[in-house]
């Protein structure tokens, strides 16, 4: 069994037991409200005598928070918003005696793009309310909310476990506050699947060295898929990029709509093919030399045959 297939099995086992990314709980969870209507206002008790009125609009994904200071002195108001179990915003503001202030906060950028069920939790350091709603997103629509992306693919000569190998350096970008439990799968004309865990910290980049079985120095054509969950399930797809390149030269890559496929561990597994790319095992320079050598050999054979016929005729 090859190292790549052993790696595939190990990654699948690890990912099947990996817990989901958790968030930061509110400071003090003393009361847990479950509103029957998403737009219903809730009165929350804050710390140090500040009172809050909060609501959430599912359609616009906007949380509205109003703080009021009923004390006879200036007091700081503090509230925190978590979105899909991840910290999203923390707001502090000093309120004069009798002063009120309102905030409207759009939470779209904090939503998890591959989940259907979402939560918005507003905490006031003395009370909190959790709003639940359902909305499905298409990860290809990056203009709606920030989603991880494959930003670069470069074919290089490298080493894997100390052995020379063709590799693809794949760079990922996570612009979201969410941490996605992602995997990266590469297919090429010479590689039937190379799988790597590929979670990226929020607001960060990461480059992964992917082992390929294509011969070193040859033209490599392939695809890389970034997904969460099952490779063969389309609803877990995040991004897909196709590429063509050779080590030491520029690698061209372009985005594709995500296509769910069957992994190399399946009997009817997906096999990548690219008929528009020349055979990566044939070097054009060597091919030209071989053609010239064949032509020279044929010419030599003809001359030799003529010489034999001429000698025979003289006899």
In tens, the pLDDT along 160-216 reads 999 999 999 999 999 999 999 999 999 999 999 999 999 999 999 999 999 999 999
- Percentage of the chain surpassing pLDDT 90? 63
How many domains, in total, are found in the chain?
A: 3
> Per-residue pLDDT for 312 more than 60?
no
pLDDT for the residue numbered 30: 33
Tell whether the torsion through CA atoms of 199, 205, 206 and 210 is positive or negative: positive
Contacts with 188 (C-beta within 8 Å, 6 or more apart), sequence order = 212, 213, 214, 220, 221, 222, 223, 272
Structure tokens at 168: 């693809």
Tell whether the torsion through CA atoms of 277, 232, 192 and 254 is positive or negative: positive
Residue 102 belongs to some domain of the structure = yes
Higher pLDDT, 10 or 213: 213
Structure tokens at 197: 């865990």
Structure tokens at 276: 């528009």
Contacts with 281 (C-beta within 8 Å, 6 or more apart), sequence order = 215, 218
Residue 289 belongs to some domain of the structure = yes
Domain CATH code at residue 86: 2.60.40.10
pLDDT for the residue numbered 186: 97
pLDDT for the residue numbered 104: 97
* Radius of gyration, CA atoms only, the chain: 31
Burial class (CB in 10 A: 0-12, 13-18, 19+), 240: buried
Together in a domain, 291 and 315 = yes
Together in a domain, 101 and 248 = no
Together in a domain, 118 and 90 = yes
Encode pLDDT of 99-158 as tens digits.
Answer: 999 999 999 999 999 999 999 999 998 899 999 999 999 888 888 899 999 999 999 999
Structure tokens at 199: 């979670």
**Banded pLDDT at 87 (limits 50, 70, 90):** very high
Residue 185 belongs to some domain of the structure = yes
Rounded-to-integer distance, Cα 193 and Cα 4, Å: 8
Which of 85, 105, 134 terminates a domain? The answer is 134
> Per-residue pLDDT for 13 more than 70?
no
| Distance, CA of 168 to chain centre | 16
Q: Which of 120, 119, 125, 88 is nearest to 203 (CA)?
A: 88
Secondary structure letter of residue 24 according to DSSP = P
pLDDT for the residue numbered 21: 37
> Per-residue pLDDT for 41 more than 70?
yes
pLDDT for the residue numbered 47: 73
> Per-residue pLDDT for 77 more than 80?
yes
Which of 134, 169, 192 terminates a domain? The answer is 134
Residue 51 belongs to some domain of the structure = yes
Rounded-to-integer distance, Cα 48 and Cα 78, Å: 10
Contacts with 208 (C-beta within 8 Å, 6 or more apart), sequence order = 169, 170, 171, 172, 184, 196, 198
Rounded-to-integer distance, Cα 301 and Cα 290, Å: 16
Q: Which of 122-131, 228-237, 260-269 has the highest mean pLDDT?
A: 122-131
For the chain, give the number of residues: 315
- Locate tokens 């989603």: which residue? 147
Together in a domain, 244 and 292 = no
Together in a domain, 185 and 227 = yes
Which of 108, 134, 160 terminates a domain? The answer is 134
Together in a domain, 161 and 120 = no
> Could you list the residue range(s) of the whole structural domain that residue 110 is in?
31-134
Rounded-to-integer distance, Cα 300 and Cα 313, Å: 20
Rounded-to-integer distance, Cα 312 and Cα 57, Å: 103
Averaged pLDDT score across all residues of the chain: 81
Rounded-to-integer distance, Cα 25 and Cα 98, Å: 30
């Amino acid at each position: 069994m090859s190292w790549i297939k052993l790696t595939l099995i190990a990654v699948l086992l690890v990912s099947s037991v990996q817990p989901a990314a958790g968030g930061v709980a509110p400071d003090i969870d003393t009361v847990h409200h479950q509103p029957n209507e998403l737009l219903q206002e809730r009165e929350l008790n804050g710390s140090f005598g500040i009172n809050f009125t909060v609501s959430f609009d599912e359609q616009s994904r906007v949380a509205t928070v109003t703080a009021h200071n009923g004390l006879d002195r200036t007091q700081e108001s503090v509230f925190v918003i978590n979105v899909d179990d991840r910290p999203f915003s923390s707001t502090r503001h000093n309120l004069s005696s009798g002063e009120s202030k309102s905030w409207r906060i759009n939470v779209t950028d904090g939503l998890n793009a591959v989940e259907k069920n979402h939560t918005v939790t507003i905490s006031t350091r003395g009370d909190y309310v959790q709003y639940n709603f359902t909305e499905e997103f298409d990860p290809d629509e990056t203009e709606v909310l920030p989603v991880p992306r494959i930003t670069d693919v470069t074919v290089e000569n490298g080493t894997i476990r100390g052995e020379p190998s063709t590799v693809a350096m794949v760079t990922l970008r996570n612009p979201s506050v969410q941490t996605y439990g992602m995997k990266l799968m590469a297919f090429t004309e010479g590689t039937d699947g190379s799988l790597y865990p590929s979670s990226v910290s929020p607001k960060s980049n990461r480059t992964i060295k992917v082992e390929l079985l294509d011969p070193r120095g040859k033209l490599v054509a392939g695809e890389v898929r970034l997904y969460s969950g099952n490779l063969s399930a389309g609803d877990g797809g995040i991004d897909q990029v196709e590429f063509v390149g050779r080590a030491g030269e520029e690698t061209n890559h372009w985005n594709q709509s995500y296509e769910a496929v069957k992994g190399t561990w399946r009997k009817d597994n997906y096999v990548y093919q690219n008929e528009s790319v020349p055979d990566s095992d044939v070097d054009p320079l060597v091919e030209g030399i071989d053609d010239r050598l064949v032509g020279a050999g044929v010419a030599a054979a003809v001359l030799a045959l003529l010489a034999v016929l001429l000698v025979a005729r003289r006899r």
